[in-house]
Chain A
């Protein structure tokens, strides 16, 4: 497929935004459950929520560039029963609203106790956070399923697509949380960095699994099934037009095999290797700069990763569009 930058930015930005929220909320839950002893400050929640919301907003803005008729975007909530895209369109603003609320509750200090279970005090923000978490996961799933549901895009049609959207989004959000912690509340660094490393390892495993899987894929569609002629030597001679069309523009990345492979190496380094080293360094010697590098590297890496994800999608329609003459 031809990677569309609007979609690359959309998915990476909202993935990180959602991940950041998950990081905030994880921290809160751990504290409430007394797993960790350091509470995040109001500032931390507020900044974290604001950044998360900002990322989601940016993602939303990016998505608009993908639409031919953005003024009609409101219509896209209509088909939630069948369309993962429609579901994403519904869940995304919901998530944004909830994160806003979550941040607002923290910021305003509306820590109204809803109930207590034993020693655990469940306040309003925790409830909102829970709901938001569910929404965030729904959004991850919806986003991932937009691609995973297309069965003839075999590279995408796998649970790994959804898992990777979740893990990569989460790890980028946790890394961002670590950065915010370094900036505002360094004592939280080990918690977030630790989680980031765990998620990074998981993401590496699943993303790697996806790469291995896709490498082994054999296209189900062939030129034989495409035109219905059984012969082992069939070559297209003319696709029917010479100056290109949407079929030649939208479904193939148009880059060399070398470029394509390089992007893979680049994202493996930027998403996994550099942030891992930086996070470990940060654990030993906390530093905003180091974590900024980790976050930036990861985000850039994810842009490359997403480009690769789209480019790797081998659309069967391309069989029909091989040769001009």
Chain B
């Protein structure tokens, strides 16, 4: 069975928010749209976004890490939001594991959002239905798009390739290999919801050299043995014993 998902590489995410707004611009005019914004030009602007980038500080100065952390619906293997939905509007697709909301069935009771430990869902305050990341289901199967572009908008936008899209059930897929080889992990594993989206941790590249590697035989300083003027006095000139 296919399970499409995103793998997010915290090792290279610089927190640029490209995925945030590209998601918004694709989806606001797409099948999930419009994604409304309140007070767009006023106090405390707020709107429906499917994807956000957060920032955390880890550790104490000077050993501080700044971590940019994108988060959208994790398309759980066992999505707690689905069984609680009274209308069946919230569902997980058999064929690719994407968790979707049927906007025609949603009654806007918000129960699914309570049932999501990750805060991945957002009510559209004007259409009054629950929305969330669709993995750009209206892109990834669109045969009108060139094949390379049949990817979620956030993945195409990401300048640091910090977002990889694919089937986490296919052991040979890029996402599976990344999870396996780079220590991919799930968020809040304690709830057993088995998020399909994974995160790749920071990986540090170190340099190590031995003290004695500092100097080599061809050290250029050795070339600067320039001639001392012979006319200058030397010890040899003044000692006769």
Contacts and interface: CB of A to CB of B under 8 A. Distances in A.
A152 B58 contact: no
A73 interface: yes
User: Taking each of B85, B109, B129, which has the highest tally of chain A beta carbons within 10 Å of its own beta carbon?
Assistant: B109
B58 A234 contact: yes
6 contacts: A78-B87, A83-B84, A152-B191, A221-B190, A223-B56, A244-B44
A219 to B, nearest CB: 10
Interface in A234-248: 234-247
Interface in B6-40: 17, 20, 39
B107 interface: yes
Interface string B183-214: 00111111100000001010000000000000
Contacts, number: 177
The dominant DSSP class at the B interface is: loop
Given A1-B114, A79-B88, A237-B57, A227 B119 contact: no
A281 interface: no
The dominant DSSP class at the A interface is: loop
Interface residues of B, number: 62
A225 interface: yes
Contact of A246 (B69, B105, B123, B199): B123
B122 A240 contact: no
B60 A68 contact: no
B117 A317 contact: yes
Contacts of B69: 227
Given A84-B84, A146-B111, A236 B55 contact: yes
B134 interface: no
A172 B25 CA distance: 52
Nearest to A82: B83
A250 interface: yes
A83 B85 contact: yes
Interface string B51-94: 01111111110000011010100000000101111111100000
Contact of B106 (A69, A227, A325): A69
Given A149-B84, A221-B117, A241-B49, 20 more contacts: A68-B109, A69-B108, A70-B107, A78-B86, A78-B87, A78-B88, A79-B86, A82-B82, A151-B191, A152-B117, A152-B191, A226-B188, A227-B67, A227-B187, A229-B201, A236-B57, A239-B52, A243-B43, A320-B119, A321-B119
Contacts of B169: none
Contacts of A135: none
Contacts of B39: 243
B46 interface: yes
Contact of B56 (A151, A227, A247): A227
Contact of B188 (A221, A238, A318): A221
B54 A238 contact: yes
B99 to A, nearest CB: 14
A89 B188 CA distance: 31
A267 B123 CA distance: 31
